[in-house]
C-alpha cells in the first residue's frame, strides 16, 4: 500500500525514526487481525507479536448441525470452505479423529497437474488447476503454489504416440500441453540419464502449469477459511458409528457423543471402507499403503516435477533443497501408515536409474499414507443409497491435486443434492452399470496399476 492509498483510505500514519526502530500506526484495514497482509505483519511486529489469534477455534461439539463432514483432510476441509463460501451453509462441523492434516493431505508428494486424457477427468482436474491458481487469494493463505511444470518422460515410440494423443486431447479441452523431444528434455534436465540402453528417454509430455503446492498449508489454509465463516472444526473426535433410521442418515456417533445432522459427507480417504461400513455400505474401494521419501537438501538440481515412464517413480525438489520422491503402492491391503522395504528398494532403483547423481544422496525421511484405491482409478463424488449420506473417495494416489475441485464439487453435491456436471461421471453406481472411468495408469488394478 503506497502513501497515497493510505491517505485515500483515511489512514493515520506516523513514522518515527530513532535508535534504529520504526513505529507505524495505521488506522484502517487492521480491524481483522487475522487477515494476513504485509501491513498486518508489520503491525504485529511492532506490538511484540502478542496479538496474533489462534488460526482456528477449538469449539466444543454442538448437539446438532445441518451438515457434518467426516474427515479433516484436504477434501473435507475444502468441502467445508466451499459449503460456507459458495452455498451459504455455515452450520457445519468437520469431524476429524486426529489433528487436522494428519492424513494423506500432509503426507503426499505435493504434485498438482491436470494432464488427463478422458473427458470425465480432464475438465474436473482442469477446474482444480484453475482453483489452485486463485487459491491463495481466495483463502488469504500462502500455500506456496509453484507452477514449475510436470514432465512425464517417454521411453518408446509407442509411449510417445500415447503421450501425443493425451497432449492433443488436453489441448482440445483447453489445457496446456507440450510434446518435447529428447534434446528438449535434456536441455531442461541436464542431470537426467537419457541414454539408458534399455529405457532411453525419447521425449516427454510437459504441462507447464503443473507443479507443486505445500501440502499441509493447504489443510491449514482451508481450515482457517472455513473456521472464519463459522464452521466448527472438531479435532480428536472419531466417528465410530453412523445413525441411519428409515433409510435416512440422522447423524454420527463419535468419541465425544452423538452429533445429529441432516446431511453427512464422508471424506475419509484411506478409511473409506471402514467408515462407510458403519452405514451398511460395501464399496468398490481397497486400502493400500503408498510411501514417500525426502533426501538431504542439496543445491538446485531438478527444477520441475519429473515422472518416469518406464517404471513408477516421480521426483521434485522442495524449496528447502530436499528431493521429494515416491513410486508404487506397496501392493497389499493395509491400514498402517508405513510401508515395507521392497518398495523402498524399488523406488531408489528408479531414482538412480533416472538421476545417477541421486546415488550420492542420503535420504532423510520416509513415511506412508493409506490410499483409497478405486477399481477403475477414478474417484467417487456422489450421493449414496442412504438419504442424506454423501460420499467422496477413490482418490488412489492422485487426490491431492484434486483437493480444490473435489471440495468444490462435493459441496455442490451436498448443497443441491445433485452432482455438478464436473463430477457427473464420478458416480458410485458406475461399477454396477459398467460406465467406468478407466484412465490408463492411474489404478484400474490396485495391485498392478
Ligand atoms: C505418500 C503419498 C504421496 C502422494 N502424492 C500425491 C501427489 O503427489 N499428488 C496427488 O495429487 N496426490 C498424492 N497423494 C494422494 C493424496 O494425498 C490423497 O489422495 C488425498 O490427500 C486424499 O484426500 P484427503 O486429503 O481428504 O485425505 P486425508 O488427509 O487422509 O483425510 C482423511 C481424514 O479422515 C480422517 N478420518 C478417517 N477415519 C475417520 C473417522 N472414523 N472419524 C473421523 N475422522 C476420520 C483421517 O484421520 C484423515 O485426517 C499421495 C498420497 C500419499 C500417501
Q: Whose CA is nearest to atom 53 of ligand 1?
A: 369
Q: How far is the CA of 416 from the centre of ligand 1 (A)?
A: 25
d(CA 112, CA 254): 33
First to last CA, the chain: 52
Q: How far is the CA of 3 from the centre of ligand 1 (A)?
A: 45
- Residues with Cβ within 8 Å of 282's Cβ and at least 6 positions away in sequence, in order, are 273, 276
- Residues with Cβ within 8 Å of 47's Cβ and at least 6 positions away in sequence, in order, are none
Closest CA to 415 of 171, 115, 87, 149: 87
Where exactly does CATH 3.50.50.60 map onto the chain?
57-449
Q: Whose CA is nearest to atom 31 of ligand 1?
A: 73
Q: How far is the CA of 103 from the centre of ligand 1 (A)?
A: 5
Q: What is the β-pairing status of strands 16-18 and 248-254? A: unpaired
Architecture of domain 57-449: 3-Layer(bba) Sandwich (3.50)
The best mutation among 76, 102, 104 to test binding of ligand 1, ranked by most ligand atoms within 8 Å of the C-beta, falls on: 104
Q: How far is the CA of 73 from the centre of ligand 1 (A)?
A: 6
Closest CA to 409 of 396, 397, 357, 395: 395
As a three-state string, the secondary structure of the chain is CCHHHHHHCCCCCCCEEECCEEECCCCCCCCCCCCCCHHHHHHHHHCCCCCCCCCCCCCCCCCEEEEEEECCCHHHHHHHHHHHHHHCCCCEEEECCCCCCCCHHHCCCCEECCCCCCHHHHHHHHHHHHHHHHHHHHHCCCCCCECCCEEEEECCHHHHHHHHHHHHHHHHCCCCCEEEEHHHHHHHCCCCCCCCCCCCCCEEEEECCCEECCHHHHHHHHHHHHHHCCCEEECCCCEEEEEEECCEEEEEEECCEEEEEEEEEECCHHHHHHHHHCCCCCCCEEEEEEEEEEEEECCCCCCCEEEECCCCEEEEECCCCEEEEEEEEEEEECCCCCCCHHHHHHHHHHHHHHCHHHHHCCEEEEEEEEEEEECCCCCEEEECCCECEEEEECCCCCCCCCHHHHHHHHHHHHHHCCCCHHHCCCCCCHHHHCCCCCCCCCCCCCCCC
**What pLDDT, on a 0 to 100 scale, did the predictor assign at position 445?**
55
**What pLDDT, on a 0 to 100 scale, did the predictor assign at position 421?**
98
Q: How far is the CA of 369 from the centre of ligand 1 (A)?
A: 7
Q: Whose CA is nearest to atom 13 of ligand 1?
A: 398
Closest CA to 163 of 209, 207, 225, 106: 207
Q: How far is the CA of 421 from the centre of ligand 1 (A)?
A: 24
The best mutation among 76, 239, 256, 268 to test binding of ligand 1, ranked by most ligand atoms within 8 Å of the C-beta, falls on: 268
Q: How far is the CA of 100 from the centre of ligand 1 (A)?
A: 11
| Residue reference for cell 539408458 | 196
CB distance 393 to 268 below 8 Å: yes
Q: How far is the CA of 435 from the centre of ligand 1 (A)?
A: 26
Residues with CB under 6 Å of ligand 1 are 70-76, 95-98, 102-105, 107-111, 238-239, 267-271, 275, 290-292, 326, 369, 395, 397-401
**What pLDDT, on a 0 to 100 scale, did the predictor assign at position 312?**
87
- Residues with Cβ within 8 Å of 185's Cβ and at least 6 positions away in sequence, in order, are 151, 153, 192, 194, 201, 203, 204
**What pLDDT, on a 0 to 100 scale, did the predictor assign at position 1?**
33
Q: How far is the CA of 187 from the centre of ligand 1 (A)?
A: 35
Closest CA to 114 of 332, 319, 403: 403
Ligand 1 atom with the shortest distance to the CA of 275? 41
The best mutation among 397, 406, 443 to test binding of ligand 1, ranked by most ligand atoms within 8 Å of the C-beta, falls on: 397
pLDDT tens, residue order, the chain (449 aa): 333 333 333 333 333 333 333 333 333 333 454 789 999 999 999 999 998 889 999 999 999 999 999 999 999 999 999 999 999 999 999 999 999 999 999 999 999 999 999 999 999 999 999 999 999 999 999 999 999 999 999 999 999 999 999 999 999 999 999 999 999 999 999 999 999 888 999 999 999 999 999 999 999 999 999 999 999 999 999 999 999 999 999 999 999 999 999 999 999 999 999 999 999 999 999 999 999 999 999 999 999 999 998 888 999 999 999 999 999 999 889 999 999 999 999 999 999 999 999 999 999 999 999 999 998 889 999 999 999 999 999 999 899 999 999 999 999 999 999 999 999 999 999 999 999 888 865 544 554 54
Amino acid at each position: 500500500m503506497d502513501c497515497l492509498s493510505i491517505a485515500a483510505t483515511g489512514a493515520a500514519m506516523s513514522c518515527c525514526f530513532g535508535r534504529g526502530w520504526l513505529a507505524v500506526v495505521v488506522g484502517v484495514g487492521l480491524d481483522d487481525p487475522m487477515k494476513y497482509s504485509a501491513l498486518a505483519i508489520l503491525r504485529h511486529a511492532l506490538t511484540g507479536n502478542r496479538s496474533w489469534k489462534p488460526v482456528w477455534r477449538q469449539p466444543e461439539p454442538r448437539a446438532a448441525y445441518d451438515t457434518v463432514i467426516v474427515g479433516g483432510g484436504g477434501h473435507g476441509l475444502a468441502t467445508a470452505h466451499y459449503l460456507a463460501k459458495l452455498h451459504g451453509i455455515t452450520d457445519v462441523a468437520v469431524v476429524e479423529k486426529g489433528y487436522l492434516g494428519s492424513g494423506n493431505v500432509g503426507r503426499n508428494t505435493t504434485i498438482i497437474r491436470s494432464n488427463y486424457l478422458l473427458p470425465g477427468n480432464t475438465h474436473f482436474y482442469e477446474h482444480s488447476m484453475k482453483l489452485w491458481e486463485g487459491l491463495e487469494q481466495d483463502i488469504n493463505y500462502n500455500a506456496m503454489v509453484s507452477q514449475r511444470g510436470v514432465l512425464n518422460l517417454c521411453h518408446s515410440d509407442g509411449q510417445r504416440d500415447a503421450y501425443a494423443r493425451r497432449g492433443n486431447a488436453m489441448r482440445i479441452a483447453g489445457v496446456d500441453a507440450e510434446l518435447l523431444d529428447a534434446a528438449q528434455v535434456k536441455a531442461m534436465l541436464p542431470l537426467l540419464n537419457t541414454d539408458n540402453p534399455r529405457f532411453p528417454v525419447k521425449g516427454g509430455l510437459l504441462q507447464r502449469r503443473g507443479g507443486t503446492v505445500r501440502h499441509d498449508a493447504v489443510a491449514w489454509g482451508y481450515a482457517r477459511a472455513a473456521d472464519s465463516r463459522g464452521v466448527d472444526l472438531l479435532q480428536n473426535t472419531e466417528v465410530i458409528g453412523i445413525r441411519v433410521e428409515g433409510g435416512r442418515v440422522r447423524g454420527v456417533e463419535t468419541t465425544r457423543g452423538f452429533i445429529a445432522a441432516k446431511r453427512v459427507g464422508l471424506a475419509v480417504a484411506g478409511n473409506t471402507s471402514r467408515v462407510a461400513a458403519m452405514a451398511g455400505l460395501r464399496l468398490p474401494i481397497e486400502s493400500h499403503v503408498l510411501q514417500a521419501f525426502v533426501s538431504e537438501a542439496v543445491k538446485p538440481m531438478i527444477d520441475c516435477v519429473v515422472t518416469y515412464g518406464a517404471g513408477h517413480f516421480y521426483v521434485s525438489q522442495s524449496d528447502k533443497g530436499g528431493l521429494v520422491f515416491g513410486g508404487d503402492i506397496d501392493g497389499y491391503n493395509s491400514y498402517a501408515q508405513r510401508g515395507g522395504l521392497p518398495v523402498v528398494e524399488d523406488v531408489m532403483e528408479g531414482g538412480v536409474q533416472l538421476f545417477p547423481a541421486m546415488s550420492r544422496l542420503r535420504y532423510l525421511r520416509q513415511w506412508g499414507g493409506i490410499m483409497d484405491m478405486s477399481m477403475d482409478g477414478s474417484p467417487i463424488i456422489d450421493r449414496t443409497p442412504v438419504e442424506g449420506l454423501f460420499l467422496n473417495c477413490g482418490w488412489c494416489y492422485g487426490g491431492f491435486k484434486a483437493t480444490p475441485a473435489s471440495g468444490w464439487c462435493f459441496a455442490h453435491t451436498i448443497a443441491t443434492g445433485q452432482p455438478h456436471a464436473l463430477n457427473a461421471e464420478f458416480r458410485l453406481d458406475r461399477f454396477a452399470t459398467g460406465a467406468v472411468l478407466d484412465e490408463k495408469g492411474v489404478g484400474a488394478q490396485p495391485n498392478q496399476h
